[in-house]
């Protein structure tokens, strides 16, 4: 990809559209504090807030790209409730695939995730595949970015150790030398400096600490 550190904010089922736009307004007020030249910011709001986010980002020329939090394994057609990759591509450049919350709550299998990844990539989205540990299969077709997110670290305030992250990254990198590697799980303003020097690390997938623009800016300020 490039040498910029990636900051991917996963907002999950938080924020309606008005709240989403307020975040962008707040970000706009604070952005001059941060050197953004070496950083790439990607926000994954709820599907319903994506078009309004896209318009706001374009009109205000914010240095932000959008991601979807999930994507259909199917092409366009008779798939009620699904959003196809080619539809998402109207607004988003990235797709988060296989988050552990979807594996648990929607019972997504490794095979589902492989289909979604191949489809998303084929339609032109950059794919961010979430893995829980070094045993989680990484789709060989279509994966661009891997986010290592151990379940015990998600939303708990209990991140993994830099040593363990390094060993998981090393293992993944040996088998998949071309993939961009991210860490996610309780990345917060008071923990981010522990991770930023991990070899092979290209950025972060951030949940809770990205929900307030002020806290997100704090993360950026420390990298």
149 noted as active-site residue: yes
Total interface residues for ligand PGA by CB under 6 A = 13
* Alpha-carbon span 66 to 63, nearest angstrom: 10
Residue in 40, 101, 108, 149 annotated catalytic: 149
Residue closest to 113 by CA, chosen among 93, 137, 133, 94: 137
Q: Per-residue contact track with ligand PGA, 99 to 138, x per CB under 6 A? A: ----------------------------------------
* Alpha-carbon span 120 to 217, nearest angstrom: 30
Closer by beta carbon to ligand PGA, 43 or else 206: 206
Of the candidate spans 13-21, 64-72, 160-168, 183-191, the one that interacts with ligand PGA by CB under 6 A turns out to be 183-191
Residue in 40, 99, 101, 108 annotated catalytic: 99
Q: Can residue 98 be called a binding residue for ligand PGA (CB under 6 A)? A: no
Residue closest to 11 by CA, chosen among 197, 206, 174, 220: 206
Q: For residue 30, what is the enclosing H or E element? A: helix 17-30
Closer by beta carbon to ligand PGA, 120 or else 128: 128
HSE at residue 171, side-chain half, CA atoms within 13 A, is 14
Is 85:125 a contact under the CB 8 Å cutoff? yes
- Helix axis angle, 17-30 relative to 213-221, nearest 10°? 40
What is the DSSP pairing of strand 126-131 with strand 64-68?
unpaired
Name the minimum Å distance from CB 208 to ligand PGA: 3
Name the minimum Å distance from CB 189 to ligand PGA: 12
Q: Can residue 149 be called a binding residue for ligand PGA (CB under 6 A)? A: yes
Name the minimum Å distance from CB 63 to ligand PGA: 21
DSSP 159: P
Instruction: Return the residue of 68, 118, 145, 154 that touches ligand PGA, per CB under 6 A.
Output: 154
99 noted as active-site residue: yes
User: CA end-to-end span of the chain, whole Å?
Assistant: 19
Instruction: Return the residue of 169, 185, 192, 217 that touches ligand PGA, per CB under 6 A.
Output: 185
- Residue 96: beta bridge partners? 128
Q: Can residue 160 be called a binding residue for ligand PGA (CB under 6 A)? A: no
Is 76:82 a contact under the CB 8 Å cutoff? no
- Point out the residues that are catalytic: 99, 149
Q: Provide the binding-site residues for ligand PGA, judged by CB under 6 A.
A: 10, 149, 154-155, 184-187, 205-209
């Amino acid at each position: 990809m490039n040498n910029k550190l990636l900051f991917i904010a996963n907002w999950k089922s938080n924020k309606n559209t008005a709240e989403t736009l307020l975040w962008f307004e707040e970000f706009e007020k604070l952005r001059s504090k941060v050197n953004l030249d070496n950083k790439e910011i990607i926000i994954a709001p709820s599907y319903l807030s994506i078009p309004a986010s896209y318009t706001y980002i374009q009109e205000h020329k914010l240095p932000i790209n959008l991601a979807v939090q999930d994507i259909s394994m199917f092409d366009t057609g008779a798939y009620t409730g699904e959003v196809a990759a080619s539809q998402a591509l109207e607004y988003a450049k990235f797709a988060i695939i296989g988050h552990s919350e979807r594996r648990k709550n929607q019972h997504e299998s490794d095979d589902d995730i492989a289909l979604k990844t191949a489809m998303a990539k084929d339609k032109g989205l950059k794919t961010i595949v979430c893995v829980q540990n070094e045993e989680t299969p990484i789709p060989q077709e279509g994966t661009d970015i891997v986010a290592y997110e151990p379940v015990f670290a998600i939303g708990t305030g209990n991140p993994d150790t830099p040593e363990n992250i390094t060993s998981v990254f090393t293992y993944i990198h040996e088998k998949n030398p071309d993939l961009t590697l991210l860490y996610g799980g309780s990345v917060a303003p008071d923990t981010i400096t522990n991770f930023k020097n991990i070899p092979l690390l290209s950025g972060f997938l951030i949940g809770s600490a990205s929900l307030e623009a002020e806290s997100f800016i704090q993360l950026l300020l420390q990298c």
